A = this chain, B = another copy of it.
Amino acid sequence: MAALMVSAWPDWVGELRLVDHHCHSVLGAALDPERFGALLTEAPAPAPGADPFDSAVGLSVRRECAPVLDLAVHAPAAEYLARRSELGVTEVNRRLFAASGTARLLVDHGYRGDDLLGLDELASAAGAPVGEVVRLEAVAEALADTGVGAQDYPAALAEEVARRTSAESVVGCKSILAYRYGFDVDPTRPSSAEVAVATDRWLLLREREPAAGRIADPVLLRHALWCGVDAGLPVQLHTGFGDPEEDLHRANPALLAGFCRATEGTGTPIVLLHCYPYHREAAWLAHSFQHVYLDVGLASTYVGHRAAELLAEVLELAPFGKVLYSSDAFGLPELYLVAANAFRRAVHQVLGGWARDGEAAEPDVHRIAAMIAEHNSAGLYRLPVAA
């Protein structure tokens, strides 16, 4: 199907403006092949001796990115990496972002932020405005680093989250409860007494073992999450596909049904990120609860041209006004372009297929595509509307 090629996309696909509602920043420094390979997987590194390009995402990089660096489509990995070095990071970043057609980036800069371009630099590299998503656990750990006392910590975190989220550049919060514990927790707001006890234990542990500095107690994680709920902006949750620090099945968004019920009356939207391979279950949550949204970001970058299947699976139950676009790209500018092209191709195949098969009328298809690409996020995060 020639129409799968970028050059053959119809205007309504090629001209979609993408709001990438969840991503990270890119590296500004040159990378050797080994570090490049390590960024092309959610594992710490590919298996010894394995070619990191021998994966769906690796094929995607050779297909989508090589032509943007003036190489033939499917250029071999070595050739690609050599050309990448030749052009230099700044030029590679610029070209790949430009090709992605990303109109706005909402960035979680709380994970390894020091290794990456700052948000202003990212906006400049991407040629697009950048909004910020506050990572709740990073705020909690930074607060603990200030030497706050156990009695003060609970209220201080609530205040700090409120302060951070009131900044004009901030559009939402994010929780990584799935990484630090799992969704098999009591979904309700913990009591002050519980939080006080857990804080005491955590701060003591931090004094004794600096390596134990990360917030991992389920009560403290719930407290941080509810500070995010109280702040009122959309709360993103990492769910499903991620790196091996998590137990995938304990990151199943279906386990959040109780949390969805508990937050239903708060007015705070809940946004399920990634979700794969539990995206049908996540779509049921978006179908069932008025305040729940979802994406299949990260997954749709990694699965190659199966991104169309993921989108089709999500649209089985999810109301079209609840589905968002994201890349969850980290580090490599390639990942923003692969994600964007995977999304456009999926929209073309799935929604375009509806029109071709008589499943839906063409104007509806174009309208729904624009909702998912841009308008749903614009409404949810109250973003400035493009002219």
Which A residues are closer than 8 A to B by beta carbons? 1-2, 4-5, 41-43, 45-48, 50-51, 54-56, 59, 62-63, 73-74, 241, 243-244, 247-249, 252, 254-255, 257-258, 260-261, 276-277, 280-281, 284-285, 287-291, 299, 302-306, 309, 312-313, 315-322, 354, 356-361, 364, 368, 371
Contact = CB atoms under 8 A, between A and B. Distances in A.
Given A5-B358, A248-B257, A257-B244, A47 B319 contact: yes
A301 to B, nearest CB: 11
A319 B359 contact: no
A365 to B, nearest CB: 9
B261 A59 contact: no
A319 B50 contact: yes
Contacts of A248: 254, 257, 281, 284-285
A41 B287 contact: yes
B258 A359 contact: no
A306 B283 CA distance: 14
A2 B356 CA distance: 9
B290 A54 contact: no
A318 B56 CA distance: 8
Contact of A54 (B47, B252, B304, B321): B321
A344 to B, nearest CB: 15
A43 B359 contact: no
Contacts of A312: 306, 309
B284 A320 contact: no
Given A59-B360, A360-B63, A302 B316 contact: yes
